[in-house]
Structure 1
């Protein structure tokens, strides 16, 4: 648990931060950063510590919500404070212990794991409860520790410190949401991989279980973004209705600026949600195209088998007739009977092939649909001067050249 005291120098109008309270000044606000290890198995003692440090009495049900590692995103307003639970997607940058030795077990839904960050927010206090290894929050803590090493007059340069708990909360949320935007490129590359696997024509696609898991992970990502947007909208409503309840007493950012920052966070989450929806649609379109190609290939195979059956049906009839066990069959003892029968069968075969060819059922030279989808058009070039081949333009250019020649001769 770490505590930071933010003070305002009213004379020169700059903010500075310390790790210990100053005896002769009242802090603008206090930030208490806790890990879940500070709360689990000692919830009552932690409540008493927060009461002594911040003078805030935490609701028992809110403490239970904080202890629940799988609690969804919510925002709840109280008379003394507001509670915001924001679930963050665990990225490779996070060093959160999720193995067997972890203090708490994370439920991984289709390979997607999230971690909660709890914000207890009032006009003069911000309490954050997070898991150790949360890179977004720890990066901000490291930056604050770096600022502490500077002189008080230089702490607010080149980047201003937070002015109130709401401002600091939005900065922490912004650092987490900005990391989501970096996920768009790897997610897009993953979808491109599945599209290539589904539409390749060299081997049969067998990774259906893994594809289903990743498709459901995209859906879970959409649900997570929807929960985050709802929590941020409730926070925005609280800023609109009760901004005087959560802003700093001495100095605070204007309400419009806070609303703009909340809207910016919501728009970032919405961009990720829409991008994930588009990627799910791309995977679904590739699956539909794959099944359509398979169905078309099956129809093509059945067409070929039907043609072969139609060609061999008359031959089977002739051989069946002359294979009957009768003593007297016309041409049975004729020395040329075998060759006459072979000629008749050959003529019948040629006639049927010509008939099917005229009906465009054979000899079309089509490739497999899967092969056509999988082929790489390496020799395709875009003609940037395609408009020069446009016939009306050619005639106009020729007419202009003739007029120029006439004028040249007259001169």
Structure 2
């Protein structure tokens, strides 16, 4: 399947963090009457995860067809007994590429299902970056910073078909007899005025779909580009697009994560800071807690919310899904929220910070960058071509 074309007629609701996303998700699970399809990278059996499990079981028991597809690595800690309980109640549950050996060197092991995508009765869909786990990281940190979108309108049919196609592929590969044939209509009536488009990345015909969407929007930018992305190690094509934009006078702002939960990638990204700053790009680091956002706003009219980071894992390996939006009201709302975090939770990286960095830090940054390139090269995913 190629990514879909732009379609009009959507009603969109921006959801900030788990505080807004989880109640909206649970409301749709409880309201569903025909079918629930849900994909997630992480599914933790914490207080949030257990609420979702209970709601899915209740839905299956009232006759709703429920299918859950969780990544075999991201959700590897999901208890077998809880899965059995769900299946006994009638919930279809599959793992995408189950982790059989943690020490396997097979390339396919790195191709994860990183999407956070769901659809209810073919009527409402969710797209975003929020996993199924509590977003309270404790230790005095604010809740994890992230976004999702609740969408109604024609693109919901694309979400439903994407979910159904992935389920068929996964069950076929695993020789599972968990037949989950949809009875939902594949066309959805208009529900609002927003123009939207679903873009998926996979390892077939859509390998570069999300990256190309970013580059096209960046190249078309006239005034402003704001990107908030937790894991930022762009390839040469996207990086050059950002540099071109800054050099032609576009205000380019990057909000990136400071808390290093994936230190290798995050330190490696610092290699590009000096060149970006020299071109006039403004870089901010999020300081208040863990950032998981993957969003962008361009010229206060184009926006994207999804699961895709701007790093080799998301852009070269994982299955991802982003919603693209052309709507001034939605883009303005998202931009205002990013700006709030820039003002309250972030510190700007200045050229003097690069110049005065210690030798040890500089050495660490280049070491991490070299290791990322080596890992991409070993796995055969084109590290040199992607990064340079």
Which bin holds the TM-score, normalised by the shorter protein?
A: under 0.3
Q: Which has the higher strand share?
A: 2
Higher relative contact order (CA 8 A, sep 6+): 2
Q: Which has the higher helix share?
A: 1
| TM-score, normalised by the number of residues in structure 2 | 0.22
